[in-house]
Amino acid sequence: MASPSLPARHPGAAGNVLHPVPPLPRAGEHAELCSGLLASRAHTSPKYFYDAMGSVLFEAICVLPEYYPTRTEAAIFSTHLPQMAEVIGTGGTIIDLGAGNCAKAARLFPLLHPHQYVPIDISADHLNDAVSRLQQRFPHIEMTALSLDLAQDWQLPPEVRNERRLFFYPGSSIGNFEPAQALDFLRHLRLCCDNNGGILIGVDLIKDAQILATAYDDHLGVTAAFNLNLLRHINRLLGSDFALSQWQHRAFFNSRQSRIEMHLEAKQDVQVRWADGGRDFRQGESIHTENSYKYSIPDFVALLEQAGFIAAHHWTDSDEWFAVIYAQTA
Ligand code: AVJ
């Protein structure tokens, strides 16, 4: 269980030196990875994709023609931002869940005029650079960066103001949770809000299975590289000896469960060893590396309502491939 690291505070004064956000505690990661790899159906958490190389590869995925979510969501924001601001109102605290380079939230600032901005990311290095640059562009906004693993239990520290919290969760990352976990997560967000809170969330919608599958198996092989890079990251974390040449990327839409599944499949019989363990994989056996759930708007609205939010508005593209939903505390 990751405990929240001490927050780095970034008061509005320009020229302030930023305190580095300490890296997440790595204890328990070893055990979590091993138990996933040793399970009868081997699996890993998608958070292990994002080492330095994985983060760069993900940025490349976001500009692939096949990967429609990023550009579709961006177009929805470009078109509808003024109306979003009207519905949401100005002021308050924007809490950015999985902020990365903070670019998506920064586009909201000129219209939403938040008092405080709280970017949260698992990767502290990325965050500190981005926040220090952003603070110079928006010196009046109080910025408080947090390094948290949102997949674990987490709480907001007292530095985060508790009036009009707006949770900003773009990119359809909610799709990485099992639906039951997604509900727990949304409930947790609801409990973090006073009665004037809300959530602005990006949701990838159910669509043609071929379009979905191609978005996760692009022709340049960037998503394949992103998936295979996980093995290098694991080799560093565990001291294991995964040979990338023995594995191949698999991605498909599981329509029964309404999710994209990504796997790494053994091209031959494979033996993997690490310090205190190891596993043999048969040819064709795979490691399940990611689920990305796709929703219909009514199903996601129902989920929000079960969590105690009232879905006030949603905006989509003309193909209805992606939705941005604003929901308020009920
Ligand atoms: C970052 C979880 C939103 O599920 O589309 C992209 C990750 N994996 N291509 C997604 C991802 C492969 C992405 N999320």
pLDDT in tens, 261-297: 999 999 999 999 999 999 999 999 999 999 999 999 9
Residue-wise pLDDT for 188-246, tens only, equals 999 999 889 999 999 999 999 999 999 999 999 999 999 999 999 999 999 999 999 99
Helix, strand, coil abundance in the chain, percent, nearest 5: 35, 25, 35
Instruction: Pick the residue whose CA is nearest to atom 4 on ligand 1.
Output: 292
* Res 330 pLDDT > 90: no
Residue 10 has pLDDT above 60, yes or no: no
Cβ count near 237 (within 10 Å):
15
| Rounded CA separation 115/222 (Å) | 39
176, 291 contact by CB (below 8 A)? yes
Atom of ligand 1 nearest to the CA of 215: 9
Ligand 1 center to 171 CA (angstroms)? 8
Question: Which residue's CA is the closest to the ligand 1 atom numbered 2?
Answer: 173
In this structure, what are the phi and psi dihedrals at residue 69, rounded to the nearest 5 degrees? -60, -45
pLDDT, residue 9, reads 40
Cα–Cα distance for residue pair 107/301, rounded to 1 Å: 25
Q: 223 CB less than 6 Å from ligand 1?
A: yes
What pLDDT is recorded for position 124?
75
Please write the tens of the pLDDT for every residue from 67-81. 999 999 999 999 999
Residue to mutate, 290, 321, 324, ligand 1, most ligand atoms under 8 Å from C-beta: 290
**Using one digit for the tens of pLDDT, what is the confidence trace for 40-72?**
999 999 999 999 899 899 999 999 999 999 999
Q: Crossing angle, helix 222-238 and helix 52-61, to 10 degrees?
A: 170
Which amino acid is residue 302, in one-letter code?
A
Q: How far is CA 33 from CA 46, 122, 161, 234, in A?
A: 11, 17, 36, 8
- Residue keyed to tokens 């191949």: 248
Tell which atom from ligand 1 comes closest to the C-alpha of 251.
12
Quick check: helix, strand or coil at residue 203?
A: strand
C-alpha to C-alpha distance for 235 and 63, rounded to whole angstroms: 28
* Ligand 1 centroid – CA 294 distance (Å): 11
Model confidence pLDDT, tens digit, residues 141-195: 999 999 988 888 899 999 999 989 999 999 999 999 999 999 999 999 999 998 8
SS3 181: helix
- What letters, b where the CB count within 10 A reaches 16 and e where it falls short, cover 293-306? bbbebeebbebbee
